[in-house]
Structure 1
Amino acid sequence: MSYLWRLFLSVVIVPLIFLIPAHSAPILITQITASDFLQLGVDKMGRGNYQEAIENFNQAMPTAVNYALEKDFAVAYSDRCLAYLQLQDYHQAVTDCTQAINFAPDNSEAYLNRGVAHYRQGDYSAAIVDLNRAIALKPSDFRAYYNRGLARAGDGKDSEAILDFNLALTQIKRISSLMLADIYNDRGLAHFALQNIQAAMLDFNLAIRLNANDYRAYFNRACVCGRNGDNFGAVRDFSQVIRLNPSNAQAYVNRGVAQYRLGYHLGAMSDLQKASEYYEQQGKKVAYEKTLDLLKSLRQQISSVTEIALF
């Protein structure tokens, strides 16, 4: 080995030896507890990572060996139910909430979440039973009244739904304008179903005032306008729906009908054509075919009117 190479080794290696501490610090190993996994799941839920949250909740649940401890973590089942709700797995959501209730019968959140899961499954009676229990456990929770109102409206009990929406509004303490807009919008739908047209219009106006980007409220108000023969108002509001939700095929259909009534035949045909294209893209075959039939019918009527005018 040459002198220069040996010198290089002595310069490089020797200083490295002095970088090693006399006593290395111990590496601490911290065991992650079930409570830690539960908190991780809650954090993931807050960030919208629902599948990852479910995995954390799974880890928070005790093993069969520690089955006696499972009651202490009933909240994990309730929270996992909420994650399944967000993923639209309603069957699993019901199963988890039922487990949470078995271990903690006074868990109002579990009854609330299971009620929502039943509602989304279309089982309105079961939803109402669970939401009744949630209200009994926590009478000040506006969410339970609101969701019971939705279930009652789904069950065709619109008068009772309106009472629940009113109770939800009285129980709200601090809430965002977006949530208020939702309640007014859904109460407006219940009024509309009962032919309380003026009350429905008032609620939809309030919903739009609170949330100017709520396309559902514009859609519903447009329907009220059409019901009242205000086709200009219907075109205005359906145009807002399309601006906020460009692929809303039903809004194109309804605006097309309103334009036809106003004599704007080209605009009507254009809207119906656009609606048929969106329905086809969305795989809604029945709606697609019905829209084409309507388009054909209106074209025939326009052609007939034109022929009469020529003679």
Structure 2
Amino acid sequence: MYFTKPAFTLFIILVVISVNIKAQYIKENLIQKGEEEILKSNYTGAILILNQEIEKNTGNHLPYFLRGLAKKELGDNIGAFNDFSTTINLHPGFSKAYYYRCIQKIDFKDFYSALTDINKAISYNVTNSDYYIARGYLYNVLKDTTNAMHDFNTAIFLNGNNSNAYLNKSLLEIDMKQYDKALININKSIGISPFNLYSFVIRGFIELNNKDSLGAKEDYEFVIAKDSTHILAYYNLALYYHNQKNYEKALFNYNKVISLNPYHSVCYYNRAALFAEKEKYVEAMNDYDHVIKINPLNIYAYYNRAIVKQYLSDYRGALADFSKVIELYPKFQKAYILRSNIYMQLKNYADAEKDRKLANYIYNASSDTLNFNKSDSVYLIPLLDFRSESQAMDTSEGHLQYKSFQIMLKASYTLIPDNSNYSINEYNEQIDLLNQNKNVNLKIRMDNIDSKLSYGNIAESKTLLDSLSPKNKIFIVSNCLWNVILSGLLKNYNEALYFVSQIPDSSEFSYLSSFLKGNLYLKLGEQEENIEFNNPFVESKPSTGINNNYNLAITEFSTSIIKNRKFSYAYFNRAYAKSSINDISGAIVDYSSCIYFSKTNGEAYYNRGLLYIFIGDRENACSDFSKAGELGVAEAYSLLYKYCK
């Protein structure tokens, strides 16, 4: 019987240091307020507060450290790593910064460098039990079980109430197949920290290996009763039922996992195996497709899908999948054997013989292979656990491309009327002049969100402008610009284009008029595509007259930039227009220019990150999502979780 082995995991507790407020700080200083927001789990709010402190005082290590903690909790491992590194540069003796940077390096699988950091942390503080737990984990990853056990015992000696020390020691004993000892230590962990539901999942696994299947089932169900969203409990309960051949309940729990996490590739993999066992090959094929879409380097998914295709008599499809397996892992001996069989069925005897010889050579020459036996039997690779996802499948390096996903770019900027006090204007001189117009009872600001004013408010102001004489409507530039803005909001684009064409190039508003004209062409392009203003950027776009509006928009934004080369919003909008015609490299350059002139524009980082994902550059994408989150774009953290873990 196959049981999933829980991934050996380092458990840490977020430790927010108690900041000793010095006398020179005012009572409610920004560091203290940021720490309070972290304690309230308002991590995005904490980051925005700490950003203010960092801007005021770049030499203080504490706001960087606290911001790193907040980013870590939001899943921004890159941002957290950078902040902990800055903390160390500013305060080389700060042990907690080494500890948390070690944790980030573990997430990056940079284990030897992580070991250097945790040794540094211990050298500055030899009595912190959490540091020994982290080092014990690293020793176990590096196959040094003796030193791993020594560090877990040291952690327990230093703090006998540290539940994580017992938990991690139990996980090490599971690795060593010492299940009786593991059960003792996991029970100690639960006794100290009965609210850590993960410990009950671990105990369930131990109980299964001690032939106490009822106890395991009770632990999994206990966890689910306490937390109906606990993915690991549902996943292990699904495997329990799967091994019991109770397919109906196994399927229910697999479905629950996928409903909670639609990107859980291992669950799709195991559900596919269930469908295959029930001879539901089409459903199995669909699930293997999902696995490969999420993780294109999963060799087992290609291998199993090839077998399912054989059952469906799709021999050429199976041939392609076995070839992909061999491309990703050339030592996969069984794949050569099965591909040889398909070549035989397709009467390609030469390639069949070549594969047969290669399979025999691999079998006899190397122990570092994914061998099963030398037979021609066809069977699926068994169920996978979480560890298999990272250790057994990703056998080659490469960038992932997510071109099957739609990505939602942040919308282009424009001038919108809004009577709120909120403003992100960077070009206040011209905008203030517009706001002084006595013929309009509205104020204007630059933004990329919809106006909060009603259609009636906008129409009323447009009526006031329309009551002016033709001469005043056109020759007073401020009135003319207001007509452009309001007509555009009322979707009278041709009227808006008429008014914008009346603004002379000599006007101080000239760069704004070109900018607004570009926005009108953007709107016309989107209108022809029959999509919403904040449109999803997809791989293919129509290529006829629609693109012409985008090209006209690009021309106008370029004109605005010529008139004011530091006008960051024009670069942003030109990038948006370029992405709409699939000029991805040009869009990336323009978002970079926007960032150069406006380093706090989080949405430019966000959009550029999405385009990096589109072209398969995850490293730069994740860096941009990290910066976007730091600058207040909350959606960036979900993308960090999706693409950067």
The TM-score, its normalising length taken from structure 2, stands at 0.36
Q: Classify 1:119/1:225 alpha carbon distance in 2 versus 1 (closer, same or farther; 3 Å).
A: same
- 8 Å Cα contact 1:108/1:137 also seen in 2: yes
1:51 equivalent among 99, 103, 115: 115
Structure 2 counterpart of 1:25: none
Matched, 1:278 2:322: no
The one-character-per-residue Cα deviations of 1:119-160 (angstroms, maximum 9, x if unpaired) are: 244443332221122112222221211222233445565443
Q: Deviations over 1:60-102 (max 9, x none)?
A: 344xxxxxxx5xx444323433454666755433221111223
Partner of 1:261: 311
- CA distance in 1 between partners of 2:255 and 2:316 (Å): 30
Q: Could you say which residue in structure 2 is the equivalent of 1:18?
A: none
Contact 1:44 1:52 in 2 (8 A): no
| Matching of residue 164 in structure 1 with residue 219 in structure 2 | yes
Separation in 1, partners of 2:94, 2:181: 32
SS in structure 1 of the partner of residue 319 of structure 2? helix
**Correspondence 1:241 to 2:291:** yes
Provide the rounded CA distance (Å) in 2 between the counterparts of 1:39 and 1:163: 38
Identity %, equivalent residues: 24
Q: 288-297 or 85-94: which moved more?
A: 85-94
**Aligned equivalent of 1:28:** none
Q: Please, which of 95, 117, 122 is the counterpart of residue 150 of structure 2?
A: 95
Which residue number in structure 2 is paired with residue 297 of structure 1?
341
User: 1:145·1:164 contact (CA, 8 Å) conserved in 2?
Assistant: yes
Residues 208-248 of structure 1: per-residue CA shift (max 9 Å, x gap): 11111111011011001101111000111111111111121
Residue 132 (structure 2) pairs with residue 77 (structure 1): yes
SS in 2 for 1:47: helix
Contact 1:53–1:83, Cα closer than 8 Å, also in 2: no
Q: Which residue of 1 aligns with 2:493?
A: none
1:184 CA displacement: 1.7
| CA distance, structure 1, for counterparts of residue 143 and residue 197 of structure 2 | 23
Q: For the structure 1 residues 183 and 150, does the alpha-carbon distance in structure 2 shift closer, same or farther, using more than 3 Å as the test?
A: same
Q: What is the Cα-based RMSD across aligned positions, in Å? A: 2.9
Does 2:281 align with 1:231?
yes
Assess if the C-alpha contact under 8 Å between 1:222 and 1:235 holds in 2. Answer: yes
Residue in structure 2 matched with residue 147 of structure 1 by the alignment: 202
Separation of aligned partners in 2, 1:205 and 1:193: 16
Counterparts of 1:261 and 1:194 in 2: how far apart (Å)? 25
Note the alpha carbon deviations across 1:256-284, whole angstroms, 9 max, x for none.
Answer: 1111111211101111222233232xxxx
Quick one: distance in 2 between partners of 1:117 and 1:85? 7
Q: Distance in 2 between matches of 1:199 and 1:141?
A: 26
Q: Classify the secondary structure of the residue corresponding to 2:245.
A: coil
CA contact (8 A) 2:132 2:152 kept: yes
1:216 aligned onto 2:266: yes
Quick check: 257-266 or 88-97, which moved more? Answer: 88-97
Hey, what's the Cα distance between the residues in 2 that align with 1:85 and 1:210?
A: 31
C-alpha distance after superposition, 1:13-64 (max 9, x if no partner): xxxxxxxxxxxxxxxxxxx9xxx744223332453363343123321344xx
1:298–1:158 Cα change, 3 Å = farther
C-alpha distance in 2, partners of 1:75/1:247?
Answer: 35
Q: Secondary structure at the match of 2:105?
A: coil
Higher helix share goes to which structure?
A: 1
Distance 1:136 1:197, change over 3 A: same
Structure 1 Cα separation of the partners of residues 233 and 142 of structure 2:
23
Return the alpha-carbon distance in structure 1 between the equivalents of residues 124 and 225 of structure 2. 37
Alignment of 1:198-217 (within 5 A): 198-217=248-267
In 2, the alpha carbon distance for the partners of 1:260 and 1:157 equals 39
CA distance in 2, matches of 1:156, 1:290: 33
Tell me if structure 2 keeps the 8 A contact 1:40–1:53: no
- Of the structure 1 ranges 135-144 and 113-122, higher mean CA displacement relative to structure 2 is found in 113-122
Does structure 2 conserve the Cα–Cα contact (< 8 Å) formed by 1:37 and 1:59? no
Aligned mates of 1:227, 1:118 — CA distance in 2? 33
3-state SS of the aligned residue for 2:329?
A: helix
For residues 114 and 37 of structure 1, the distance between their equivalents in structure 2, rounded to whole angstroms, comes to: 27
Write out per-residue CA displacement over residues 174-218 of structure 1, whole angstroms, 9 at most, x where no aligned residue: xxx6xx223322221121111111111111111111111111011
Opposite residue 170 of structure 1, the aligned amino acid is A
- Which residue of 97, 101, 112 corresponds with 1:40? 97
Distance 1:249 1:155 in 2: 32
How many Å separate the matches in 1 of 2:188 and 2:147?
Answer: 20
Counterpart secondary structure, 1:125: helix
Contact 1:90 1:118 in 2 (8 A): no
The alpha-carbon distance between structure 1 residues 84 and 120, as it changes in their structure 2 partners (threshold 3 A), is same
